[in-house]
Amino acid sequence: MKKNLRLIISTFIVGILFGSLMSTVFAATATSNSKSIGPVNGYSYTNYAQISTDSGYIGARTSISKVGTGNVPTGYMGSLARAYKDGAVCTETSMLYNDEPLNGIGSSIVGHSGCGSGVYHSQGKTEVYNGNGYSTYYTNLTPNLNF
């Protein structure tokens, strides 16, 4: 009985600790307004960016998705996440294209140690296939976050 009680209490404490750690992965997140794109080569899209900060880490995300139901063909959408510190690029991902028919795609910077204290924001870059190459569309800027 005592062993079971200890196991239950231990599991409970570990659960509380794990839950509290997971809830503080990113303390602050700011999201840009969505931007409408197209139609381009028969498809309309929306894109947006996010910036996140927590003690010691920053994150950024850029997403693009087709408007409405259904998927676009392979290679029709690209997404690049970028984080800026005080107006200059701090870090970015490479362009990520959908490698199968999808409705949306996103690229993320996760757990980056940042480029020092300052004001951070994100503005992502997306690309859509236009029938003869790619057209580039930047997301709207996110609100600023202090880091």
Please report, for the domain that includes residue 107, its CATH number.
Answer: 2.60.40
So what's the pLDDT on residue 7? 41
pLDDT tens readout for residues 109-136: 999 998 999 999 999 999 999 999 999 9
The pLDDT value recorded for residue 99 is 98
Phi, psi of 3 (to 5 degrees): -65, -45
Judge whether 1 lies within some domain: no
Single-letter amino acid, residue 116: G
Least confident range from 2-6, 42-46, 95-99, 133-137: namely: 2-6
CB 68 within 8 Å of CB 83: no
Which tens digits make up the pLDDT trace of 73-82? 999 999 999 9
Q: Does residue 140 lie within any of the structural domains? A: yes
Mention every residue, 6+ apart, whose C-beta is less than 8 A from residue 54: 24, 25, 26, 27, 28
Facing residues of 119 across strands?
A: 146
DSSP one-letter code for 24: T
Determine contact, residues 126/62, Cβ cutoff 8 Å.
Answer: yes
Question: Structural domain tally of the chain?
Answer: 1
Query: Is 21 inside a domain boundary?
Result: no
Domain range for residue 56? 26-146
Determine, yes or no, domain membership for 65: yes
Residue 66 placed within a domain: yes
Q: What is the pLDDT of residue 25?
A: 53
Task: Answer whether residue 9 shows pLDDT above 80.
Answer: no
pLDDT digits (tens, 9 = 90+) for 18-74: 444 434 455 899 999 999 999 999 999 999 999 999 988 999 999 999 999 999 999
The pairing of beta strand 43-54 with beta strand 57-66:
antiparallel
